[in-house]
């Protein structure tokens, strides 16, 4: 068994720190999105509480809380069980207000 002898690469440590920081920020974003959706909307519910929201509208609603990219929000909505319906050719998320 041989061990490497030499100087430590500090660039790798910096890259790891940046990656860990980015992962923390992404986890915070996911948690904030989940909290917002859980408090305001449900993927199932009664017809009287049904509403249609575009991704842009949801990003605007979330803009006071956290900055989020459309594809990140769409992935989280799909994972949470929300689905898309097309009205007049426009995609809308089907949500039920709480």
Look at residues 97, 95, 76, 79 and name the one whose alpha carbon lies nearest to residue 29.
76
Q: Which fold has domain 11-97?
A: Nucleotidyltransferase; domain 5 (3.30.420)
Residues 6+ apart with CB under 8 A from 32: 62, 65, 66
Beta bridge partners of 91: 86
Q: Residues 54-76: pLDDT tens digits?
A: 999 999 999 988 889 999 999 99
pLDDT in tens, 2-54: 666 666 666 666 777 888 888 998 898 899 999 999 999 999 999 999 999 99
Kindly state the average pLDDT of the residues 86-92: 95
- The pLDDT value recorded for residue 15 is 74
> pLDDT at position 22, please?
87
**Which is higher by pLDDT, 88 or 4?**
88
Tokens representing 10? 């500090």
């Amino acid at each position: 068994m041989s061990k490497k002898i030499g100087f430590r690469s500090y660039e790798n440590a910096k890259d790891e720190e940046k990656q860990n920081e980015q992962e923390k920020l992404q986890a915070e974003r996911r948690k904030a999105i989940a909290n917002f959706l859980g408090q305001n909307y449900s993927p199932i519910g009664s017809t009287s509480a049904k509403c249609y929201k575009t991704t842009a509208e949801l990003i605007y609603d979330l803009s006071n809380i956290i900055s989020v990219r459309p594809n990140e929000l769409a992935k989280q909505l799909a994972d949470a069980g929300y689905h898309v319906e097309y009205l007049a050719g426009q995609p809308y998320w089907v949500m039920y207000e709480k």
